[in-house]
Amino acid sequence: MTHQNGHSSSEKNLDIIDSPDDHFQDECAVFGIFGTPDAAAHTALGLHALQHRGQSATGIVTFDNSTAQFYTHRGMGRVSANYHDPSVMEGLKGSSAIGHNRYATTGENSLRNVQPLEADLDLGHVAIAHNGNIVNYPKLRSKLQKIGQIFHTSSDTEIVLQLMAKSLKENLIEKLNDALAEIVGAYAFVALVNDSMIGIRDPNGLRPLVLGKLGEAWVLASETCAFDIIGAEFIREIEAGEMVVIDQFGIKSHRHHPKTNVFNCVFEYVYFSRPDSISDGVSFYERRKHIGMELARESHVEADIVIPVPDSGVPAALGYAAASKIPFELGIIRNHYVGRTFIEPTAQIRHLGVRLKHNAIPTIIKGKRVILVDDSIVRGTTAKKIVRMILDAGATEVHLRIASPATKSTCHYGVDTPDEEELLANNYDHSGMVNYLGCTTLAFISIEALYNSVSTTQNLLHGSTTQQGDTPGYCFACFNKRYPIEIPAKADIRKFPDN
């Protein structure tokens, strides 16, 4: 017996002319700030900077120290649409706050699943926001239901609240520790627990979380670009397996899990993180440019111009052009006004093959041998269209170069991936892909070259000594199926992690 929720009728329209972006889709953003007036406004700004990680819903919970009260706003849609109303912001009183952006997966999009989630526990109030996926959530949920716990959301984040509620510890932080001891997965949490703010990162560091400071206030965020928007200073990453507890007496750190191998999600380097966010002292823009250079070295081809698929392919294309000495041209223009919905196409309109989002400039493409660079290929639907568009614009050859290896497996750690049978690389061999995409040649960067281009400084920093396969320090499971955390049996897999 299942249950479906009828209240979110506003969700039903999807972008129906353009196929949705053919990307792995990140997976939510978290932000928190402790110890500043207008904590909610800072959080709204931080969430705005992290909008690329999730656009379907957003929430903020604040804590007002003077009255010991919590305040909440949660709503569907974007950050700017939710927090421009002065009455909403005035309602979010307090000097500490956490917030969340949610990525839209199909299915349960109702307001009750919008984070931060909250609970009044016996010892106080907890609000928590999550980026990641708790792999053993279905099993834990089922166990807890059997002993009489009622679940109010279909979000795996709730399991943390339920486990805290069942913990026998006499202190909320210890209850939270008890909860973390039960869960397995990839996670970055920010939480308000009574008058403290907490930041937590999973034992393998699969999902990112960084710590910053703005004057005396402490800040937590998924990426450093959320520090830049409010002028906060980057202090350090939260370590894999670390929990920080921030209260009026300062910050305390402890490990909730012993040290183990680190497996940072390599797709943060390829696509998820904003180019201006920084990791280990290097921006993702530079890393992607460097990946493009490696790609050029691995898959050189004679050509006249290098054109990126904007915006995600631009850094790698710049790197490719630099390494190959082939001129870079912005030969495709992207229309940034595309909303989430548009007119329903009639047969007549569908037939047009409408280009809502991208348009090629024929005057610079005509008669040219084009190297077309994108960051990744998932189903291949968009790439196929864009190759066609470049050829229609008069290119004599289209050499498609992809700044990541071919994606072959589902992510179980908080990233929305299609069914494996939908992935292009699972349906065709190399020549089949070339044929399907209609390009002259096709090359993906190799796992090794990608590893080299991202790992330069990383290994040293994380001191990863144990080697799991060929990519110490990173998770490449979507390319090579080497899952660093055991994944559940087929039956227990949730199709759509929400965080």
Instruction: Exactly one of 28, 411, 475, 478 is catalytic; name it.
Output: 28
For the CB of residue 81, give the shortest distance to its own copies in the complex, in Å: 6
Piece in contact with its own copies (CB under 8 A), picked from 1-9, 23-31, 438-446, 457-465: 1-9
Torsions phi, psi for 480 (to 5 deg) = -125, 5
Going by their DSSP bridges, the two strands 473-475 and 263-265 should be labelled as: parallel
Tell me how far, at minimum, the Cβ of 125 lies from its own copies, in Å. 5
Q: Which of 124, 138, 438, 488 binds its own copies (CB under 8 A)?
A: 124
Please pick, from the candidates 28, 29, 30, 44, the single residue that binds its own copies as defined by CB under 8 A.
44
Cβ count within 10 A of residue 402: 24
Q: How far is the CB of 20 from its own copies (least distance, A)?
A: 15
The set of long-range contacts for 82-88, using a CB threshold of 8 Å and a minimum separation of 24, is: 82/44, 82/58, 83/40, 83/41, 83/44, 83/58
Measured from the CB atom, is 242 or 498 closer to its own copies?
498
Q: Rounded to 5 degrees, what are φ and ψ at 199?
A: -125, 135
Residue 3 phi/psi, 5-degree rounding, is -140, 135
Count residues binding its own copies (CB under 8 A).
112
Residue 227 DSSP symbol? H
Chain centroid to Cα 309, Å, comes to 20
Instruction: List binders of its own copies among 66-105 (CB under 8 A).
Output: 68-75, 78-81, 83-89, 91-92
Residue with tokens 């679940």: 151
CA angle at 87 for the pair 86 and 92, rounded to the nearest 5°: 95
Is residue 496 part of the contact set for its own copies (CB under 8 A)? no
Contact yes or no for 94/64 (Cβ under 8 A): yes
CB of 424 to its own copies, least distance (A): 26
Beta strands 473-475 and 441-444 are unpaired
Q: Would you say 8 or 261 has its CB closer to its own copies?
A: 8
Check if the beta carbon of residue 227 is closer than 8 Å to that of residue 33. no
Cβ closer to its own copies: 373 or 411? 373
235 belongs to the binding site for its own copies (CB under 8 A): no
Q: What are the tokens at 146? A: 């059997």
Side chain identity at 60, as an amino acid letter?
I
> From CA 452, how far away is CA 470, in angstroms rounded?
11
**Integer Cα distance of 69 and 36 in angstroms:** 16
Binding mask 271-290 for its own copies (x = CB under 8 A): ---xxx-x--xxx-xx----
Cα–Cα dist 75/109, whole Å: 11
Residue 164 C-beta: closest distance to its own copies, Å: 9
State yes or no: residue 366 binds its own copies (CB under 8 A): no
Least Å distance, CB 487 to its own copies, is 24
Q: Rounded to the nearest whole angstrom, what is the least distance from the CB of residue 435 to its own copies in the complex?
A: 24
Examine residue 482 and tell whether it contacts its own copies (CB under 8 A): no
CB atoms within 10 A of CB 429: 9
The answer to whether 478 is a known catalytic residue is: no
Distances in Å between the Cα of 199 and the Cα atoms of 46, 167, 280, 281 are 16, 20, 19, 21
**Residue 86 vs 258, nearer CB to its own copies:** 86
Check: CB of residue 482 under 8 Å from CB of residue 468. yes
Residue 469 in the binding site for its own copies (CB under 8 A): no
Q: Minimum distance between the CB of residue 426 and its own copies, rounded to whole angstroms?
A: 32
Q: Which of residues 145-174 bind its own copies (CB under 8 A)?
A: 145-146, 148-152, 161-162, 165-167
Half-sphere exposure of 217 (CA within 13 A, CB side): 21
Residue 364 or 442 with smaller CB distance to its own copies: 364
Dist CA 353 CA 12 (whole Å): 23
* Binding of its own copies by 222 (CB under 8 A): no
| 367 sits near its own copies (criterion: CB under 8 A) | no
Q: Is 181 a binder of its own copies (CB under 8 A)?
A: no
Task: Pick one of 106, 181, 254, 330: the residue that binds its own copies (CB under 8 A).
Answer: 330
**Around 389, how many Cα atoms within 13 Å sit in the side-chain half-sphere?**
22
According to CB under 8 A, which one of 184, 229, 235, 251 is a site residue for its own copies? Answer: 229
Q: Helix 137-146 vs helix 158-166: angle between axes, to the nearest 10 degrees?
A: 40
**Of 34, 187, 320, 328, which one interacts with its own copies (CB under 8 A)?**
328
Residue 345 binds to its own copies (criterion: CB under 8 A) = yes
- The piece of 243-251, 293-301, 331-339, 467-475 that touches its own copies (CB under 8 A) is 331-339
Pick one of 38, 174, 397, 420: the residue that binds its own copies (CB under 8 A): 38
Residue selected from 120, 419, 448, 470 as contacting its own copies according to rule CB under 8 A: 120
The set of catalytic residues is 28
